[in-house]
Structure 1
Amino acid sequence: MSLFRFPLILALIGCCATLSAQEEPSLKVVRTLEMPQKSGEYDSPLVAFSPDGKRLAASWKEQIVVYNVETGKPQARIPLPEDATSLGFLSRGGNVYAYVDGNLATWDAATGKLLSSAPLELLSLHLDFSPQGDLVALCHRGTLDRTSEHAVVEIRDAKTGKSLRQVELMQATTPGPVQFHPADGSTLAVDIGEAMVVLKTADLTEVITLETDPKDLAYSPDGKRVASADFSGYLNVWDVDQGTRAPGFTQEDLFGMDTNRSLNAVAFSPDGKLVVIVGRRRGGDDKYNRLLVMYDIEQKGKVVLSVDDESLNDFRTVDFSPDGTLLATTGDDEPGVTLWDVSTLVGKPINPLPGNSQPATSTPARPAPASPPAIVDRKWTSADGNFTVTARYVQQNATHVQIKRADGSLLAIPKEQLSAADRAYLVRMAK
């Protein structure tokens, strides 16, 4: 669950440079979603886009605010008894969920009406819902009455709350972020302190352990790669099946001898071709620059865009909109969520939003890729003709295609079950 920023060698060797007057920055602030302050201070909020990209939820200072992304105006304000520790949208229906005050609660995103509240009473909880919305994965330290010395990973039925299976990770003492395989939910990536482990959802057996010290982690949309932003200031990107770093993503490739960074968050673009990290970097005179760097995975870690300018504030969170045209970021003591236009990097137009259009210190490093085929609603049929579903293509991997129905619900369908016409359509979408 989780937002974003980005001259090239500058971010890597710690030098400073100035854009010439002729250079036209491509990264612009579309809008800042301002948040009311409380007690004279600002917090860095949790943020999440809705599955359709029309809403953005932000949680901070004992409240959740749901914004209309197009207008920038709040649609719903939800008071909380204390700060939330997890925030997101359910894939089915697009309702908001949060873990707060020992309860997992859901609200109607349009009205802010409380829909459900289930007591969990778990310590140091991190959670994520499966792509189908039927399961919830929890990483915690046990209950108030029965504390565990190690991190516990647990799978529950999302509807009933019934615990289905759990495992105590003996090598982990501190619970960390957990994330389902975005395409089919078949595996989980879990931060276990000084490493990241990938588990099978079906039985919670280990697939692979990756050496890292993650502060934040992210799966690529197809689940083939997983990335971590480390406490040591490094970005790691692995091929999950091979257990090896993606080409160009060793620490030496990306950063050389530079260790003057502190990273806070990492995110993949919806097409899985880009990965972005945010944090801060020590500049001259012991001052800090806020830091956002975006890398092209297919071009072996080539820097696509960066923000590396002097600021009192770190970038704290980052996330892409579902269509990849917007990047959302927050920072320390900044009074809101900043939306950045990154549409030129994904080859898609963006509908201008009302508000600011302020350039950032940023330079594009490659031409925009060609636009993908148009994504429209279509009838998906099975090879045997037993089912027909009208839905919109979302993404695919080697075995499944994910589609979204008009009600916002997501379906993951094995490709082998689809008609020949649908499989031919998927081949065109993959180009």
Structure 2
Amino acid sequence: MLFNRSHCLTLAIFVASIAPVVADGRTWTDRTGNAKVEAELVTVKQGKAYLERVDGRVATVALERLSDEDLKYLASLPEHRDEATAAIKRVAAATDGDPSPSRVAPANVVTERPKMATTHVEDESTVGVVRRFKSESWGFQGIAFSPDGGRLAAIGSDNINLIDLDSSQLLARQDGLREIFRFTSVTFSPDGKKLLAGGTRGHVLIWDVAADGRLNAAHNYNIHDNEVKSIAVTPDSQYAISVDSRGNVKYWSIETGQSLMAYGGFYPNTPVDAFITRRGGQALVADGRTMALFDLKEKTALQAASVSRGAAQCVAFSPDGTRFAFNDSYTIRLVDVKTGSELPPLREQSLQWSVDFSPNGKLLACGSHGRIAVWDVDTQQPAHLFTTEETGHLRFLQFSPDGIHVAAIVSPIGQSIHLFRLPKKLHMP
């Protein structure tokens, strides 16, 4: 079992605090009770609620079409109280005080998917490797998709590269950064306008990303005293959470580099991942042994809980923060963050080195020795298997934002990046 009795008790207490964090995502229902959607509130404006689904699509619903429970929830939020209260009054007037399902029409839900770039293939049924990129130096150390999925950032030991995936063109490359540090982590801001890379000496370099892909140096901050293992950026692209190799967390301003919060307590030299809520108010950080909840508005740690006793080689939160995956030797463990319970484990054939959820959270890609196993998270059953021509451990992989591809550094010393295309049946609807 993953949790012993003390772990279960600690996590059970912790879950009570976590519930509001993950539950910006909730089940929204129309007035007929027939239309339901799991989504997170983005905003309310001009009489409509904008709800982001777990697959990234945004549903737009007229407030009058929402259930009484949903309208009361919106009215409880200070920033949306006036619009929700006005909608409640309009519903009462339109239904003569009898807002029963028979008196109202079903919700007219308009669903939009964020605009994604396309990586073209000759045959839409193609499965497997569709792009290959070779390192021009000592190998790649990390990768990150741009938010629209059209570009891939790849860091080397002393260089950073920006690749256009459709054309396979190298848009930008910066070399000679060894004097500053060796790169160890990389990510884009959610608006796609900035690229952040951390290194062994605790620095974080930030570039402005031009429309044509040029990288313009913007900032060089000394955020940590040790290697930067992970960087996550808030949804408004204004702040970042980073974790170093000694287990220290920093919350800081991207514009100024000013540290706004510091926290120590994670296990040294292990992978770590962070989930930040859609509004950027709270965050979860976990390394496979410990999970901590932070209030970013108050700039403080609220609570921490023990997850396991082992040291993981790979960890990942699902995009909606409801599940957490980490490896235990040959096995991938899945935790339901809302309840603290363990889902059935995913048992693999070799040590797991990398893991990532699909954008809708329904698939999990796991990298091991020369193979990428894709699992169905809900059924805990294998969905697909990619094998590579290389024999090394796959230490870095990531789903594309549209959920169609998985990029991975595949060779033993990081000389190659492969872009794998999933079978069409696994593409997000």
Deviation of residue 161 (structure 1)?
2.0
The residue correspondences of 1:175-194 to structure 2 (distance < 5 A) are 176-181=271-276, 183-185=278-280, 186-191=282-287
* Alignment of 1:214 onto 2:318: no
* Alignment of 1:297 onto 2:377: yes
Q: Scaled by the length of structure 1, what TM-score is found? A: 0.62
In the alignment, residue 268 of structure 1 is paired with which amino acid?
Answer: F
Structure 1 counterpart SS, 2:247: strand
> Match of 2:290?
196
In the alignment, residue 238 of structure 1 is paired with which amino acid?
Answer: V
Given that residues 155 and 163 in structure 1 are in contact (C-alpha distance below 8 angstroms), is that contact kept between their aligned partners in structure 2?
Answer: yes
Structure 2 counterpart SS, 1:113: strand
Deviation of residue 84 (structure 1)?
0.5
The residue correspondences of 1:226-305 to structure 2 (distance < 5 A) are 226-230=324-328, 232-246=329-343, 249-250=344-345, 254-255=346-347, 261-280=350-369, 290-298=370-378, 300-305=379-384
- String of CA shifts for 1:279-322, please: whole Å, max 9, x gaps: 12xxxxxxxxx221111112x20100113578532222111111
Aligned length: 291
Structure 1 counterpart SS, 2:133: strand
* Alignment of 1:224 onto 2:322: yes
Distance 1:94 1:233, change over 3 A: farther
Distance 1:291 1:174, change over 3 A: same
Percent identity of the aligned residues?
A: 23
For 1:50 and 1:161, the matched residues in 2 are separated by: 22
> Who wins on radius of gyration, i.e. which is larger?
2
In the alignment, residue 209 of structure 1 is paired with which amino acid?
Answer: S
Distance 1:336 1:309, change over 3 A: closer
The residue correspondences of 1:120-131 to structure 2 (distance < 5 A) are 120-126=223-229, 127-131=231-235
Instruction: State which drifts further: 233-242 or 68-77.
Output: 233-242
In the alignment, residue 159 of structure 1 is paired with which amino acid?
Answer: E
* Alignment of 1:328 onto 2:407: yes
Deviation of residue 73 (structure 1)?
0.9
In the alignment, residue 307 of structure 2 is paired with which amino acid?
Answer: L
Distance 1:108 1:152, change over 3 A: closer
Deviation of residue 163 (structure 1)?
2.0
- String of CA shifts for 1:117-144, please: whole Å, max 9, x gaps: 2223521323322222222212236xxx
Structure 1 counterpart SS, 2:417: strand
> Match of 1:117?
220
Given that residues 141 and 414 in structure 2 are in contact (C-alpha distance below 8 angstroms), is that contact kept between their aligned partners in structure 1?
Answer: no
In the alignment, residue 366 of structure 2 is paired with which amino acid?
Answer: I
Distance 1:215 1:59, change over 3 A: same
Runs of 5+ consecutive residues of structure 2 not aligned to the other structure: 1-124
Distance 1:334 1:157, change over 3 A: closer
Distance 1:158 1:337, change over 3 A: same
Distance 1:229 1:27, change over 3 A: farther
The residue correspondences of 1:47-86 to structure 2 (distance < 5 A) are 47-79=143-175, 80-81=177-178, 82-86=181-185
> Match of 1:96?
195
More helix by share: 2
In the alignment, residue 266 of structure 1 is paired with which amino acid?
Answer: V
Q: Scaled by the length of structure 2, what TM-score is found? A: 0.62
Deviation of residue 99 (structure 1)?
1.5
Deviation of residue 85 (structure 1)?
1.3
Runs of 5+ consecutive residues of structure 1 not aligned to the other structure: 1-24, 142-149, 281-289, 349-370, 372-431
For 2:373 and 2:126, the matched residues in 1 are separated by: 14
* Alignment of 1:344 onto 2:421: no
